[in-house]
Homo-oligomer: A and B are copies of this chain.
Amino acid sequence: MLRSAPFFPTTVEDYRKIVDDYDTWLFDCDGVIWRGGTPIEGAADVLRFLRSKGKRIIFVTNNPTHSRAAFKKRFAAMGVEASVDEIFSSAYASAVYISSVMKLPKDKKVYVVGMQGIEEELREQGIAVCGGTDPSDNTLESVDEPAVDPSVGAVLFSWDGSINYTKLSKAFQYLTRNPKCAFLCSDEDLTYPVEDGVLFLGTGALTATIRYALGRDPVCFGKPSKTMFECIEAKHKINPATTIMVGDRLDSDMAFGKNGGVATMLVLSGLACLADISDTSPVISDFVTGALTDFGVLRSP
């Protein structure tokens, strides 16, 4: 169900038809269910309502800093029930790609630029990691001559609040000195929203350092890449005709839905605003609504 211009549901019947038409609901989290550290009002109630109608719910997030186990706790803190199997993060997609798609040999390691969560996901898939949270890589003393470990077969970039010259430099040395070393990136988000419309630098911005110095594009896993979709399909049978992707970003969430051939709904509770939707915008969603809580009309008497 692809339209050339989005449909704006307004009546109870409009919302009921959307709920009736789709069995599988893929949800972005930040800007849809919470914003920064604060739950979005009514979102948890709508998720409970959808579950009560027998809908399958899957959470799809580009945030690579938490493991799925940590995400489950975060969901609980936001008043949202979720199982680990319902959570697909860019960190998990990275781990699935490395172990199942590129099939990195068992004697090779991944040099990680990133936080504990992505390390945990990689280790859970049996992948050996270095860098990341290793204290010797987390220093502001820049390394003059970074030792290059010949067992590193891939460099994986993700968001890293402790980014430093040592990690950037080691990543660059692995990639320049060994042309066979894979260049991977958990997600391409240049920014991510925090409270009050403020944007912080995302994985895509940190990766730009190496990307432009190398003149080489990484293989990326987060939305809108199809890899994330393949990761979901490996775990759940998806019927695109009855699946809908709900998110707050045109370039990431809506493009991801289009790439996966499913319906898309843009919510305006996050990054995108009404002005971003025009006939000339490169990605138009099938539906647009203010926020998830708009589905609350279905629970009214």
Contact = CB atoms under 8 A, between A and B. Distances in A.
Interface of A: 138-140, 142, 144-145, 160-165, 168-169, 172-173, 176-177, 190-191, 194, 198-202, 204-206, 208-213
Contacts of A173: 198
Contacts of A177: 198
Given A209-B209, A212-B190, A201 B162 contact: no
> How many chain copies does the complex carry?
2
Nearest to A160: B165
A86 B199 CA distance: 44
A226 B28 CA distance: 47
A280 B150 CA distance: 36
A163 B162 contact: no
Contacts of A212: 190, 204-205, 208, 212
Contacts of A139: 140
A206 B169 CA distance: 11
Nearest to A161: B142
A172 B144 CA distance: 27
Contact of A165 (B142, B161, B190, B199): B161
A162 B165 CA distance: 6
Nearest to A202: B213
A139 B164 CA distance: 10
19 contacts: A139-B140, A140-B140, A163-B163, A163-B164, A165-B201, A168-B201, A169-B200, A172-B199, A172-B205, A177-B198, A201-B209, A202-B213, A204-B212, A205-B209, A205-B210, A205-B213, A206-B209, A208-B212, A208-B213
